[in-house]
C-alpha cells in the first residue's frame, strides 16, 4: 500500500467545497468528493478558527476517506465518505458536542462505543443519529459493506447554551431516530455550507431550536426508560411524526393519526403520551411553535403570513397559542432574537421596505393582545 503523503494541505473554510448540497440526495457519487492528504494515519481534518474546534474526528487510515469541512458562526460541519469494503477506525474526544448524522451505511462488522453507554454492534445505521456530549470519548470501527456517508456537526457548548438552559445536561445517545432533530440539524448544516452573511439571524434561530430538540430528545429517552412497556413502536413513531411534520399547516385529526399507527383512538392517545410525554395535540402545538420561531427570525416574513402558513385563520389565535408555549408574543420573540443577533447587515432598499412592512403588520397584529 502506498504510504500516506507527508504534505499537509491548507484546509480552510474559504477553500472548502460543498460535498453535499442537501441531506439524502441520491445523485451524489464518489467522484463528488475531494480527497485530502494528511500527515499521518490518525489526525484531525481541520483546525478551525474557534479554539473549541481544535480537535475534530480522527479517522484511520485517512487515505481511504474523503472529507470536507465548513465553519460558520461558531459551528463546524464536516462531510465524510468512505467506500464499500473498507475498514476504518474513528476517534473523538474534545470540548465540543458532536452530533453524528449517518446518512448512509451498512457494516459487515464493527463496534461503536461512547463513554457512559454500552458498546453497539449495530450493522445497518442508515438514517440514525448519535450524540456525543462535550468531554465524552467516542470510538468506532467499521468494515463497510456499502459506502458510508456521514455528517459531523460540532457544536460549541458556550454558543449552544442559552441562559434558560443553564441547567441542561446533555446525555450521550447512540444510533437513535428523531426525524425532527434530523431535519433541524440538516437545515443548520446546509445554512453553514451556504455561507451567506445575511443568514445570521436565521442561523441563531435554528441553533436555538437545535438546542431545544437535543434537550427534548434526551428527556424523551429518559421517559422511555422509566416507562413500562407499551409505548409506540419505532415504525409507528416514524409514521405519526412524519405525518405531523408534513401537515403542520393543516388540521390534523386524531382519527388519522390513530389509523396510521393502526390503533384505536383511546389506545393511540395513551401510547403516544407514554412515548413522548405529552398528548398528540400538545405535541402538534409545540412543533408548530418551533417552526414559528424559525419563521419569525426572518423579519421579511410578516406575522400574518406566518400565522397562515401554520394553519391559523386568525392572527389573534396564533398570537395566543405562541404566547401560551413561549411566554412571549410573536413580536416580542422577534425583537429579542434580532437584538441577540447584533446589529443588522446592510440591506437593499427593497429588503428594508419588506422589513418595515413586516414591522407594521406585527404592530397591527398584536396591538390589542399584549
CATH topology of domain 41-176: Jelly Rolls (2.60.120)
- CATH node for 224-364: 1.10.10.60
pLDDT, the chain, mean: 75
**Is the pLDDT reported for residue 363 higher than 70?**
no
CA distances from 119 to 42, 92, 103, 334, 358 (A): 22, 15, 21, 44, 51
User: What length is written for the chain?
Assistant: 370
Task: Please tell me whether the overall predicted TM-score, pTM, comes out greater than 0.85 for this model.
Answer: no
Question: What are 323-336's pLDDT values in tens digits?
Answer: 888 888 998 888 87
92, three cell numbers: 473523538
Query: By CB neighbour count within 10 A (0-12 exposed, 13-18 middle, 19+ buried), where does 359 fall?
Result: middle
HSE (CB half, 13 Å, CA atoms) of 302? 17
**Is the pLDDT reported for residue 15 higher than 60?**
no
Domain ranges of the chain: 41-176, 224-364
Question: What are 220-252's pLDDT values in tens digits?
Answer: 554 444 444 568 888 888 889 889 988 888 889
**Is the pLDDT reported for residue 115 higher than 80?**
yes
343, three cell numbers: 446589529
**Is the pLDDT reported for residue 365 higher than 50?**
no
Amino acid at each position: 500500500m502506498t504510504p500516506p503523503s507527508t504534505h499537509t494541505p491548507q484546509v480552510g473554510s474559504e477553500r472548502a467545497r460543498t460535498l453535499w448540497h442537501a441531506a439524502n440526495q441520491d445523485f451524489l457519487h464518489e467522484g463528488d468528493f475531494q480527497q485530502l492528504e494528511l500527515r499521518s494515519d490518525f489526525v484531525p481534518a481541520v483546525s478551525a478558527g474557534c479554539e473549541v474546534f481544535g480537535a475534530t474526528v480522527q479517522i484511520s487510515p485517512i487515505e481511504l476517506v474523503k472529507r470536507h469541512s465548513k465553519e460558520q458562526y461558531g459551528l463546524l460541519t464536516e462531510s465524510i465518505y468512505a467506500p464499500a469494503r473498507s475498514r476504518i477506525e474513528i476517534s473523538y474526544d474534545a470540548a465540543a458536542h458532536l452530533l453524528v448524522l449517518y446518512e448512509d451505511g451498512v457494516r459487515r462488522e464493527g463496534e461503536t462505543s461512547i463513554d457512559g453507554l454500552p458498546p453497539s454492534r449495530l450493522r445497518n445505521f442508515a438514517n440514525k443519529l448519535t450524540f456525543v456530549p462535550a468531554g465524552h470519548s467516542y470510538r468506532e470501527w467499521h468494515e463497510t459493506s456499502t459506502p458510508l456517508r456521514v455528517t459531523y456537526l460540532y457544536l460549541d457548548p458556550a454558543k449552544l447554551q442559552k441562559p434558560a438552559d443553564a441547567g441542561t445536561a446533555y446525555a450521550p445517545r447512540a444510533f437513535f431516530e428523531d426525524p425532527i432533530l434530523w431535519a433541524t440539524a440538516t437545515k443548520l448544516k446546509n445554512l453553514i455550507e451556504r455561507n451567506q452573511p445575511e443568514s445570521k439571524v436565521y442561523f441563531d434561530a435554528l441553533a436555538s431550536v437545535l438546542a431545544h430538540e437535543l434537550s427534548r430528545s434526551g428527556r424523551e429517552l429518559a421517559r422511555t426508560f422509566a416507562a413500562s412497556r407499551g409505548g409506540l413502536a419505532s415504525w409507528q413513531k416514524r409514521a405519526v411524526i412524519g405525518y405531523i411534520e408534513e401537515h403542520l399547516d393543516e388540521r390534523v385529526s386524531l382519527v388519522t393519526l390513530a389509523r396510521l399507527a393502526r390503533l384505536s383512538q383511546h389506545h393511540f392517545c395513551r401510547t403516544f403520551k407514554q412515548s413522548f410525554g405529552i398528548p398528540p395535540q400538545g405535541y402538534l402545538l409545540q412543533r408548530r411553535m418551533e417552526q414559528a420561531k424559525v419563521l419569525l427570525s426572518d423579519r421579511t416574513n410578516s406575522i400574518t403570513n406566518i400565522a397562515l402558513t401554520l394553519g391559523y385563520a386568525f392572527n389573534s389565535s396564533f398570537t395566543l397559542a405562541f404566547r401560551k408555549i413561549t411566554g412571549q408574543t410573536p413580536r416580542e420573540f422577534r425583537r429579542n432574537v434580532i437584538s441577540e443577533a447584533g446589529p443588522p447587515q446592510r440591506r437593499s432598499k427593497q429588503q428594508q421596505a419588506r422589513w418595515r412592512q413586516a414591522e407594521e403588520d406585527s404592530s397591527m397584529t398584536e396591538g390589542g393582545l399584549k
